[in-house]
Amino acid sequence: MNRGLRFGVGAWGLAVYAVLIFVLLLVPIAYTIVYSFNDYRRTNIVWRGFTWENWAGVCGVQDVCAAFGTSILVGAVATLAATAMGTAIAIALVRYRFRFRAGTSLLLFLPMATPEVVLGAGLAAQFLTAGVPKGVLTIILAHTMFCISFVVVTVRARVASLDPAIEEAGRDLYASPGQVWWRVTFPLLLPGIISAALLSFALSFDDFIITNFNSGPAYTFPKYVYINASKGIPAEANVIATVVFVLAIVIVVASQLASAARRKRLARN
Give the chain's domains with CATH numbers.
2-53 (no CATH), 63-233 (1.10.3720.10)
What pTM was computed for the model? 0.83
Q: What's residue 207's pLDDT? A: 92
Q: Say whether pLDDT at 188 is over 90.
A: no
Q: What is the mean pLDDT of residues 81-96?
A: 91
Q: What is the mean pLDDT of residues 215-228?
A: 89
- In whole angstroms, what is the distance from residue 113 CA to residue 111 CA? 5
| DSSP E strands, 122-215 | none
DSSP 162: S
Highest mean pLDDT among 24-33, 62-71, 73-82, 107-116: 73-82
Q: Say whether pLDDT at 41 is over 90.
A: no
Ranking 108-112, 114-118, 122-126, 138-142 by mean pLDDT, the lowest is 108-112
Ranking 89-98, 227-236, 250-259 by mean pLDDT, the lowest is 227-236
Q: Which residues contact 39 (CB under 8 A, 6 or more apart)?
A: 48, 49, 50, 51, 53
Reduced DSSP (H G I as helix, E B as strand, rest coil) percent helix, strand, coil of the chain, to 5: 80, 0, 20
Q: What's residue 269's pLDDT? A: 66
Q: Give me the amino acid identity at 127.
A: F
Q: Give me the amino acid identity at 11.
A: A
